[in-house]
């Protein structure tokens, strides 16, 4: 696969709107990197610059140490999965996945059949075997009153398998074609053209003849993929992503999830250096998004590829990424693993964007021993570690951040060691099956609490809560950066 390097990349559109500011990032081989942020933060623009669909105003992008700023998109060896699938409606699944290979040329080793008679004999046996299988299979399906489409699918798959069996047999009878050193011959021929002395010309001609007689280098040819090579690649990928039974169908006959898998398959079949995915799940319903999230993660693990994935959904980022790049207004806010962004957000924006429900933010002051809410009715006595952390913020305004799951109901026996209780008045509660989300007020401060469904919260209920001191975050009110 590939490594990517972004060096001081900027994007300014013709109307002088700057979408990306000084973007610097290193992506290692086989990393799954997610660009996450709200709409308009520059994540898709950055992805499109990698793809070559947007020009780079300034800065440099490298793939495997090769500068790609001016490399045409078709020569970057990347594949892209779009939000709207971008499938050809008049083509079957097979044809959609095969299209990029049909249009592509590549370098292939050259082989020859060493035993033509033996090969022909085995091919005849394979054809006879699969023809018999097709005849019996069609008869069986008709007896079961299978629909016409099922019979066509069976015949199609059987004939593909026959072709694969023939290709496999060919491997047993083929040998590599060896050739001479073409580079050396080209060098000698160039010298021959420049030579003026007859003796020198004769000597060079003899050298060229001698080099051509020594066939010790494997021969290669630059050509398009054959139909058999395309079929093998497409079927292998279709089996990996669960589409082998749909190869003859057109996109209109597929569900949203199946169409998305076709788009993924089309990207995988090219075996590119980098996979680019631009919000590929946003058009799917909630249940299908969860399923496709899992499938994309499995494909990534099985193939061991380098992926850049763009989304505004922090759940997708947290569950799929090995590295997250959180963006806002064209700037990178934080780069790190999902755990790092969740446990140590660098500023208020990252803290509020990562996590569901969002982190609670409480305005207040540090009086030297406790954090005092702005309305003055609630004090949170701090431990020694927090007091030492905030020693430069005595009597200064700051923001306390605490996640909904770290505000704990006083009766929770698993958190008996927690103190600092304070009352919260429930304004609204949402039961989500296994958990309860309660929207509460402490004076004028709104706090969201996430707890188990065992607890009951009704509008107007007043209950005592406490905060897990080990899970608190403090932010500077002016810079919004995390303290510590």
Q: Is the pLDDT of residue 461 over 60?
A: yes
- Across the chain, mean pLDDT equals 89
Q: Are residues 169 and 194 in the same domain?
A: no
pLDDT classification of 178: cutoffs 50, 70, 90: very high
Distance, in Å, from the CA atom of 40 to the CA atom of 19, rounded to the nearest integer, reads 8
Note whether 135 and 204 are same-domain residues. Answer: no
What is the mean pLDDT of the segment spanning 183-203?
89
Longest alpha-carbon distance in the chain: 107
- Domain range for residue 140? 111-177
Kindly state the average pLDDT of the residues 37-41: 94
Q: Once rounded to an integer, what is the mean pLDDT over residues 194-218?
A: 90
Neighbours of 142 (CB within 10 A): 11
Q: Among 167, 192, 217, identify where a domain stops.
A: 217
- Pairing type for strands 32-36 and 306-311 reads parallel
How many domains does the chain contain in total? 3
pLDDT of residue 433: 83
Tokens 């992805």 sit at which residue? 47
Name the token pair of 131.
């023809």
Separation CA 335–CA 34 (nearest Å): 10
Among residues 191, 217, 243, the one where a domain terminates is 217
387 shares a domain with 441: yes
Helices and strands in the chain: count of H runs, count of E runs: 13, 26
Under the banding of pLDDT at 50, 70 and 90, the label for residue 411 is low
Per-residue CA distances from 385 to 272, 426, 465 (Å): 50, 31, 22
pLDDT score recorded for residue 403 = 94
CA distances from 378 to 123, 152, 325, 375, 466 (A): 84, 72, 36, 8, 11
pLDDT for residue 413 is more than 60: no
Query: Which pLDDT tens digit goes with each residue over 229-270?
Result: 898 889 888 888 888 888 888 999 998 888 888 998 898 898
Mean pLDDT over 192-201 rounds to 88
Angle between helices 256-268 and 227-240 (to 10 degrees): 130
**Residue 86 falls inside a structural domain:** no
Band of the pLDDT at 364, cuts 50, 70, 90?
very high
Q: Report the pLDDT value the prediction gives residue 408, as an integer from 0 to 100.
A: 86
pLDDT of residue 1: 61
Q: Is the pLDDT of residue 418 over 70?
A: no
Count of CB atoms within 10 A of residue 145's CB?
6
Task: Give the DSSP per-residue string, 33-56.
Answer: EEEE-STTSSHHHHHHHHHTSS--
For the chain, percent of residues with pLDDT exceeding 70: 98
Dihedral of alpha carbons 235, 239, 245, 251, sign: negative
Report pLDDT for 414.
Answer: 53
Residue with tokens 């300034």: 58
Instruction: Based on the fold, state whether residues 166 and 187 are members of the same structural domain.
Output: no
User: Which range has the worst mean pLDDT, 66-75, 313-322, 414-423, 467-476?
Assistant: 414-423
Average pLDDT over residues 210-231: 90
* Spatial distance between the Cα atoms of 203 and 183, rounded to a whole number of angstroms: 18
The CATH code of the domain that includes 448 is 2.40.50.140
Peptide bond into 357 cis (omega under 30): yes
Quick check: is 213 in a domain?
A: yes
């Amino acid at each position: 696969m590939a490594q990517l390097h972004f060096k001081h990349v900027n994007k300014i559109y013709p109307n002088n709107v700057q979408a990306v500011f000084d973007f610097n990032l290193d992506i290692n081989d086989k990393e799954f990197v997610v660009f996450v942020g709200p709409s308009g933060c520059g994540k898709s623009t950055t992805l499109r610059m990698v793809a070559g669909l947007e020009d780079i105003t300034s800065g440099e992008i490298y793939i495997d140490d090769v500068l790609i700023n001016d490399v045409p998109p078709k020569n970057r060896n990347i594949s892209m999965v779009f939000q709207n699938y971008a499938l050809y409606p008049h083509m079957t699944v097979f044809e959609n996945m095969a299209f990029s290979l049909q249009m592509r040329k590549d370098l292939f080793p050259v082989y020859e059949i060493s035993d033509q008679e033996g090969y022909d004999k085995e091919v005849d046996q394979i054809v006879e075997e699969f023809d018999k299988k097709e005849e019996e299979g069609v008869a069986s399906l008709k007896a079961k009153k299978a629909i016409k489409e099922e019979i066509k699918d069976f015949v199609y798959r059987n004939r593909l398998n026959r072709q694969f069996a023939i290709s496999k047999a060919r491997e047993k009878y083929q040998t590599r074609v060896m050739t001479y050193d073409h580079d050396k011959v080209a060098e000698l021929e160039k010298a021959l053209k420049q030579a003026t002395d007859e003796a020198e010309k004769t000597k060079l001609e003899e050298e060229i003849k001698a080099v051509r007689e020594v066939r010790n280098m494997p021969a290669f040819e630059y050509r398009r993929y054959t139909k058999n090579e395309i079929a093998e690649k497409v079927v292998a990928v279709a089996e990996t992503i669960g589409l082998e039974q749909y190869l003859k169908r057109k996109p209109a006959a597929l569900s949203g999830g199946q169409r998305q898998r076709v788009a993924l398959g089309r990207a995988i079949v090219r075996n590119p250096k980098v996979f680019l995915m631009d919000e590929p799940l946003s058009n799917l319903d909630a249940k299908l998004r969860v399923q496709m999230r899992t499938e994309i993660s499995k494909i990534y693990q099985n193939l061991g590829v380098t992926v850049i994935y763009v989304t505004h959904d922090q759940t997708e980022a947290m569950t799929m990424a090995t590295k997250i790049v959180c963006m806002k207004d064209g700037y990178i806010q934080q780069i790190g693993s999902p755990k790092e962004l969740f446990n140590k957000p660098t500023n208020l924006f990252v803290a509020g964007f990562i996590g569901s429900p969002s982190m609670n933010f409480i305005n207040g002051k540090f009086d030297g021993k406790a954090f005092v809410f702005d309305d003055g009715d609630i004090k949170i006595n701090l431990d020694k570690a927090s007091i030492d952390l905030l020693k430069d913020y005595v009597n200064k305004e700051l923001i306390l951040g605490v996640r909904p799951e770290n505000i704990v109901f006083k009766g929770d026996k698993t958190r008996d060691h927690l103190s600092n209780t304070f009352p919260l008045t429930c304004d609204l509660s949402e039961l989500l099956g296994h958990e309860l989300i309660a929207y509460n007020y402490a004076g004028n401060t709104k706090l969201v609490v996430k707890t188990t469904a065992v607890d009951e919260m009704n509008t107007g209920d007043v209950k005592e809560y406490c905060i897990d001191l080990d899970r608190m975050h403090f932010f500077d009110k002016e810079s919004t950066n995390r303290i510590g």
